[in-house]
Amino acid sequence: MVRPNEEVEALLREYADLVLITGGDAFKARAYEKAARAIGGHHADISKLDAEGLREIPNVGRSIADKVIQYLQTGRMPAVEEVRSKVPAGVRQLMAIPTLGPRKAMALYEDLHISSVPELLDALHEERLRDLKGFGPKTEENILHGIGLMQAAGDRVPINAAMDVAEEIVAELSVLSGCESCTYAGSLRRMRETIGDVDVLVAAGRSAPFMDAFTRLPGTAEVMAHGMKKTSIRTTKGLQIDLRVVPPDSWGAGLQYFTGSKAHNIRIREMAVHRKLKLSEYGLFHAESGKKIVSQSEEEIYARLGLPWIPPTLREDRGEIAAGLRGALPALVTEADIRGDLHTHTDLTDGLAPLDEMVEAAARRGLRYYAITDHAPNLSMQRMTDEKVLAQRERVRELDGRHRNMRLLHGTELNIDPDGHVDWPQEFLRDFDLCVASVHSHFNQGRDALTRRLVTACENPEVNIIGHPTTRLLGKRPGLDMDLDVVFAACARTGTALEINAHPDRLDLSDEHILRAKRYGVKFAVNTDAHAPLHLTYLRYGVGTAQRGWLTADDVINTWPLPRLRRFLAKRGSAGTPSSP
């Protein structure tokens, strides 16, 4: 169920971690880490490649290619198994804590014999860690925080992991005979940022063939419940999937019910009761006679309650029902509305693919414009220089001529320093088509300083977009502690767009922040921040998040035709009037 690329990526990453904690060569660990990233982001299925093909992937040398081949042929990677056997399972559990590196995990095990999260919590509360070399009160605080993040994430998975599995299952079940309709529902259809379990719905006269096929899918690790109405499995990766089969006539009612959210459904059911009707997953009925009124489509059910069809991304009981009754639902931005991507990388910095490959991939996706925004020099490990970025600009201008339907923009991703200043002097910045500016360091400055820092960045006339504005990493790092209302007001006032970073580990801004920002009149940019061609497909998660924030195409600058976008990027009228259509 998982792409071989991702399986191998996970194995190589594990190997890198294991090398580190067993005191192995840090250089070797880094080489494996880099290869893992390259393979995970590689566009083609690696199981179709030979050793030579593998070595063409950046950062994959002979020894790694051989290990991968061995894994693809035998399903095993003995090198990993060997180091694995040297590391106790408890240490690996500790390493899963986001703020605890492999070395600290190993130190805890060797010096304090801690090999589980509960033992670690005990030791923290008894203040046993602070005497350890390399640990102190601040480390303790970080570790506690990391455990909190891990527990808050619970067993929820990133949306892309759930989507990949769901689409595969829907494809498998759709081809079975007797299948009239099949789709995923639940939080996945609503495009929530993380998914608890996947809900799949089938419309068919007979349920047994679907339930049986479902339990026999290749990625199934455990059948948790096997019934005629509902069957639940757990995949080898630990994700729960619920399958429900409803009679074809109940498709609309079933889809409406199992899409949720629960809060939205409760409201809808109240409306039905008010009209002396009863709503269930089988249809809308007269309460008294039990006679069925409608059940085949969601549209019919909403219509009978006096509502237009409500898009799933709005079904959170956040005012969508009142808006529907007033005929005031927003015309949500769609993936087809997006004309361009305004934040992407190449292998000139930390991207995995060269410029021309990224551009080709963007053109194949039908984009009308595409901005290359590699990292600026202050992120020193990326080793950007004036010469490199200017040479890249020339290459971009050349390539631009070769694509008839897609314009290329040359930009950069600046680093917002602790004072709110960015890389390069203003006159150098002026020659970029656009500048994204992001926070990449000093995350814990304190609320006032962080707020000022972001406002200063917005006030820079060369800064067009604030990249991943809160810098959160889902389940790993909380968002910056700043006064968002002040930042949102500054964006609106200065004509600076806020990014909706579509990477499934970020989805930053989040839906709720978007709702808040929109009230200030802020404009948004839904960007992939792609570091490989494959990442361009993450756009859908950014658009889903934008929809959950009630955005229309007009709110999103990268749906605009290029001339209008260019006027916005000129940041003229930044004394108050955001550029008009």
Q: Which stretch binds Zn ion (CB under 5 A): 125-133, 406-414, 481-489, 548-556?
A: 406-414
Both tokens of residue 202? Answer: 């089938």
Please report how close the Cβ of residue 570 comes to Ca ion at its closest, in angstroms: 45
Residue listed under structure tokens 């964006």: 491
Please report how close the Cβ of residue 498 comes to Zn ion at its closest, in angstroms: 15
Binding to ligand DGT by residue 193, rule CB under 6 A? no
Nearer to Zn ion, 337 or 529 (CB): 529
Nearer to Zn ion, 211 or 414 (CB): 414
Binding to Zn ion by residue 433, rule CB under 5 A? no
Q: Which long-range contacts (CB under 8 A, 24 or more apart) does 357-360 make?
A: 357/533, 358/530, 358/533, 359/399, 359/403, 359/406, 359/408, 360/533
Binding to Zn ion by residue 413, rule CB under 5 A? yes
Nearer to Zn ion, 33 or 413 (CB): 413
Burial 490-511, CB ≥16 within 10 A → b, else e: bbbbbbbbbbbbbbbbbbbbbb
Please report how close the Cβ of residue 173 comes to Ca ion at its closest, in angstroms: 16
Both tokens of residue 219? Answer: 């990625």
Nearer to ligand DGT, 34 or 192 (CB): 192
Binding to ligand DGT by residue 478, rule CB under 6 A? no
CA distance linking residue 369 with residue 143, whole number of Å = 44
Binding to Ca ion by residue 17, rule CB under 5 A? no
Residues contacting residue 568 through CB under 8 Å, at least 6 positions apart = 464, 495, 497, 523, 557, 560, 578, 579
Cis status of the peptide bond prior to 509, with omega within 30 of 0: yes
Q: Which stretch binds Zn ion (CB under 5 A): 149-157, 316-324, 392-400, 411-419?
A: 411-419
Pick from ligand DGT, Zn ion, Ca ion, none: which does 261 bind, CB < 5 to 8 A by kind? Answer: ligand DGT
Nearer to ligand DGT, 4 or 475 (CB): 475
Binding to Ca ion by residue 197, rule CB under 5 A? yes
CA distance linking residue 190 with residue 511, whole number of Å = 12
Pick from Ca ion, ligand DGT, Zn ion, none: which does 260 bind, CB < 5 to 8 A by kind? Answer: ligand DGT
Pick from ligand DGT, Ca ion, Zn ion, none: which does 258 bind, CB < 5 to 8 A by kind? Answer: ligand DGT
Binding to ligand DGT by residue 258, rule CB under 6 A? yes
Q: Where are the alpha helices (DSSP H) in 326-471?
A: 355-364, 386-402, 426-429, 447-459
Residues contacting residue 313 through CB under 8 Å, at least 6 positions apart = 190, 191, 332, 544, 547, 548
Question: From the list 9, 14, 193, 242, which residue makes contact with Ca ion (rule: CB under 5 A)?
Answer: 242
Binding to Ca ion by residue 254, rule CB under 5 A? no
Residue listed under structure tokens 């670690």: 120
Using DSSP's 3-state secondary structure scheme, residue 407 falls into: strand
Q: Contacts with ligand DGT: how many residues (CB under 6 A)?
A: 14
CA distance linking residue 71 with residue 152, whole number of Å = 34
Both tokens of residue 528? Answer: 């992939």
Question: From the list 529, 559, 560, 578, which residue makes contact with Zn ion (rule: CB under 5 A)?
Answer: 529
CA distance linking residue 359 with residue 341, whole number of Å = 11
Binding to Ca ion by residue 316, rule CB under 5 A? no
Binding to Ca ion by residue 193, rule CB under 5 A? no
Nearer to Zn ion, 298 or 341 (CB): 341
What residue ranges bind ligand DGT (CB under 6 A)?
186-187, 192, 195-197, 199, 257-258, 260-262, 265-266
